[in-house]
């Protein structure tokens, strides 16, 4: 089930919002990775990960899942914090308050929980934003 | 013997009432009267023969399908509430362990939070001249 939540979240993160791409993909040249980026990846890039979803059961057997996703934007220090903040804003605009298809669920609904702030982390800047995805099984 | 857990439970609302429920509570009560007399050094009480049930059932409203409206309404327009009659409902603790009775609904509590949940609670009171029908599985 959590696989479906991951897939639903990624489907929005990689969605085509025009010209076969979206502003986040364009900003990071399609470098969007789950959990961890490959070593020595070119910056900037986006990494997203999911925390274990909470489940809420109903008497009918239906289960509502609520998962938190962290979306981290990494960029070169020399690009400056504004560049990271700009990508982070694009991530928020792309994901916040969006309905997505989640297999076996009524729908998935993504909403922003916290906004990222660029911080220096060694040789790169990093900004973490969190989102919640809520989806209820249909049977 | 088995020990009941919450997911063994369920609620069957009367016809015309709808929601995706995941909690219920009910209190079975009787009025008691103090009949302590002169000379008694402790209270004496008598319990009424008339039993009552009040309680609530809560969950999430449904929409975007047929027959999802939480409570009966007139065909309309206007689509006003038409719920005064209530109906028969069943509260289940576990398979074969139920309380069934007629009920009317005194209130519906909606709660909608923009970055949180949307919930509904049905508050019911018994409307049954011979009280609840109790079933309790003792076959194990």
Q: How many CA atoms lie within 13 A of A70 on its CB side?
A: 12
Q: Which of B4, B11, B13, B20 to mutate to test the interface with A (most CBs of A within 10 A)?
A: B20
**Bridge partners, B46 (sequence order):** B33
**What is the token pair recorded at B136?**
């309790």
With vertex at residue B139, the alpha carbon angle to CA B135 and CA B140, rounded to the nearest 5 degrees, is: 125
What is the phi/psi pair of residue B19, to 5°?
Answer: -175, 165
Q: What is the CATH number of the domain that holds A123?
A: 3.30.2000.20
Query: Are A58 and B9 inside 8 Å of each other by CB?
Result: no
Q: What's the domain range around A93?
A: 2-137
Share of chain B above pLDDT 70, in %: 99
Would you call A1 an interface residue with chain B, using a CB distance cutoff of 8 Å? no
Helix (H) or strand (E) holding B25: strand B20-34
Q: Which of B22, B91, B113, B122 to mutate to test the interface with A (most CBs of A within 10 A)?
A: B22
Q: Is residue A1 scored above 70 in pLDDT?
A: no
From the number of C-beta atoms within 10 Å of its C-beta (0-12, 13-18, 19+), residue B79 rates as exposed
The pLDDT assigned to A52 comes to 82
A121/B35: higher pLDDT: B35
* Residue from the list A57, A111, A113 with its beta carbon closest to the beta carbon of B7: A57
Q: Where are the domains of chain B?
A: 6-135
Measured in whole angstroms, the distance separating CA A4 from the mean position of its chain's CA atoms is: 14
**What is the token pair recorded at A34?**
């789950």
Distance CA B86, CA B72 (A): 9
Q: Which CATH code fits B6-135? A: 2.30.110
Give pLDDT tens digits for B64-102.
999 899 999 998 888 899 999 999 999 999 999 999 999
Distance CA B64, CA A4 (A): 22
The pLDDT assigned to B111 comes to 98
pLDDT interval class at B50 (50, 70, 90) = very high
Q: Is residue A2 scored above 90 in pLDDT?
A: no
A58 CB neighbours in chain B (<8 A) are 20-22, 59-60
Q: Is residue B140 scored above 80 in pLDDT?
A: no
What does pLDDT average to over chain A? 94
Kindly report the number of other CB atoms within 10 A of residue B111's CB atom. 11
Distance CA B125, CA B56 (A): 9
Would you call B21 an interface residue with chain A, using a CB distance cutoff of 8 Å? yes
Kindly report the number of other CB atoms within 10 A of residue A11's CB atom. 13
Average pLDDT over residues B7-21: 97
Q: Which residue of A has its CA nearest to B63?
A: A106
**Bridge partners, A131 (sequence order):** A69, A112
């Amino acid at each position: 089930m959590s696989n479906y939540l991951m897939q639903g979240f990624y489907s929005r993160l990689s969605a085509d919002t025009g010209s076969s791409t979206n502003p986040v993909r364009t900003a990071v040249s399609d470098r969007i990775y789950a959990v961890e980026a490959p070593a020595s990846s070119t910056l900037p890039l986006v990494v997203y990960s999911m925390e274990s979803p909470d489940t809420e059961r109903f008497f009918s057997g239906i289960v509502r899942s609520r998962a938190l996703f962290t979306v981290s934007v990494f960029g070169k220090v020399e690009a400056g914090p504004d560049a990271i903040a700009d990508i982070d804003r694009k991530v928020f605009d792309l994901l916040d308050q969006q309905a997505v298809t989640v297999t076996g669920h009524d729908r998935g609904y993504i909403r922003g929980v916290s906004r990222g702030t660029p911080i220096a982390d060694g040789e790169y800047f990093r900004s973490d934003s969190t989102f919640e995805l809520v989806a209820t099984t249909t049977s | 013997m088995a020990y009941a857990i919450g997911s063994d439970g369920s609620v069957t609302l009367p016809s015309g009432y709808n929601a995706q429920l995941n909690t219920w509570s009910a209190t079975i009560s009787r009025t008691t009267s103090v009949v302590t007399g002169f000379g008694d050094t402790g209270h004496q009480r008598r319990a009424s023969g008339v039993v009552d049930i009040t309680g609530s059932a809560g969950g999430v409203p449904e929409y975007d399908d047929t027959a999802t409206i939480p409570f009966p309404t007139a065909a309309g327009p206007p689509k006003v509430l038409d719920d005064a009659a209530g109906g028969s409902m069943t509260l289940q603790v576990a398979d074969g362990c139920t309380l069934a009775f007629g009920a009317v609904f005194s209130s519906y509590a909606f709660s909608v939070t923009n970055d949180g949940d949307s919930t509904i609670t049905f508050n019911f009171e018994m409307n049954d001249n011979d009280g609840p029908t109790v079933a309790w599985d003792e076959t194990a």
